[in-house]
């Protein structure tokens, strides 16, 4: 078996272990579908975990679980803390970006992994009884937020194909991400220095058709979030501090030039 295959299997075993910790029961069919492996491979992986002293228990008609009380807790949560995270999970499911949902769900799985079985039951019950009224149709309009987050914190230039409603074809731009925010219309927007227009601009992430994170790094921008916030207040709010939708302008300029 190649070295990379060993690493791949180790990652899968770790993920299966986490899955067992995060759920009351997990079936072989579920694991086979989620990890895109055969049921025979699932049984082999479960056997490997048992040989590594992970106490896996088979429950007839339900699947597999871990012996009650077994966990490797990196941190313990109080019930109110766990409840707050369940609410966050429900709210996050309403966001329109697939990548953010995926990464958040991975994080929540790690949180649930340290809960006792009775706490998992309460968490599932609370989740089923919680309704978030935004984005009722559960539309997913983008899948790039995770890439943009990484580029923002690592100062990587992004090459994007961006298409507004008025554009016939997407326009290729190189941008330097500065900030991310969630708009009144529930869209994710990246504030970035646009090298094509030579100024800060706002880009709706759902209008990014393709995105590439380049190895090129840019110099961190000196504009502060307070300065940006003041620009947005002047742009979108009237003199009484009320939001004025007539001031909204797609792909709007921030009217701030690079500070050197």
Residue that terminates a domain, selected from 66, 88, 115: 66
The CATH number of whichever domain residue 36 belongs to comes to 1.10.10.10
Give the separation between CA 158 and CA 217, rounded to whole angstroms.
Answer: 10
Assess contact for 20 and 65: CB atoms under 8 A. Answer: yes
71 in a structural domain: no
> How would you write the pLDDT of the chain (260 residues) with one tens digit per residue?
443 445 467 778 888 888 888 788 899 999 998 888 999 999 999 998 888 888 899 988 889 988 887 765 555 667 777 777 777 777 777 787 888 888 888 877 877 777 777 877 877 777 777 666 666 666 777 888 889 988 998 999 999 999 988 888 999 999 999 988 877 677 888 999 999 999 889 999 989 999 999 999 999 988 888 888 787 777 777 666 665 555 544 444 455 555 54
134 in a structural domain: no
133 in a structural domain: no
253 in a structural domain: no
Residue that terminates a domain, selected from 42, 66, 90: 66
Same domain, 191 and 222: yes
Read off φ and ψ for residue 36, nearest 5 degrees: 55, 50
Same domain, 176 and 112: no
DSSP state of 25: -
Within 13 Å and on the Cβ side, how many CA atoms surround 109?
15
Sign of CA dihedral 203, 181, 219, 253: positive
Task: Give residue 108's domain range.
Answer: 79-128
Reduced to 3 states, what is the DSSP secondary structure of residue 140?
A: coil
Same domain, 51 and 96: no
- Cross-strand bridge partners of residue 199: 194
Report the number of distinct structural domains present in the chain.
Answer: 3
Same domain, 51 and 90: no
Nearest to 97 by CA among 48, 52, 57, 147: 147
Residue that terminates a domain, selected from 66, 96, 120: 66
């Amino acid at each position: 078996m190649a070295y990379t295959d060993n690493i791949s299997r180790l990652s899968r075993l770790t993920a299966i272990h986490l899955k067992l910790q995060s759920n009351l029961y997990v079936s072989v069919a579920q694991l086979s579908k989620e990890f895109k492996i055969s049921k025979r491979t699932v049984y082999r992986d479960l056997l490997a975990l048992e040989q590594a002293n992970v106490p896996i228990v088979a429950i007839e008609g339900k699947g597999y679980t871990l012996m009650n009380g077994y966990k490797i807790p990196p941190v313990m949560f109080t019930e109110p803390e766990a409840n707050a995270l369940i609410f966050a999970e429900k709210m996050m499911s309403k966001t329109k970006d697939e990548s953010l949902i995926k990464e958040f769900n991975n994080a929540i799985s790690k949180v649930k992994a340290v809960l006792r079985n009775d706490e998992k039951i309460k968490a599932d019950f609370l989740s089923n009884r919680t309704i978030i009224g935004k984005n009722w149709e559960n539309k997913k309009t983008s899948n790039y937020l995770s890439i943009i987050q990484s580029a923002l914190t690592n100062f990587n230039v992004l090459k994007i194909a961006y298409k507004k409603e008025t554009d016939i074809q997407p326009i290729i731009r190189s941008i330097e991400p500065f900030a991310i925010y969630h708009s009144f219309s529930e869209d994710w927007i990246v504030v970035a220095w646009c090298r094509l227009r030579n100024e800060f601009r706002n880009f709706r992430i759902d209008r990014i058709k393709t995105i590439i994170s380049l190895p090129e790094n840019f110099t961190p921008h000196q504009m502060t979030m307070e300065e940006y916030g003041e620009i947005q207040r002047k742009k979108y709010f009237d003199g009484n501090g009320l939001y004025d939708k007539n001031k909204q302008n797609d792909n709007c300029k921030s009217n701030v030039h690079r500070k050197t």
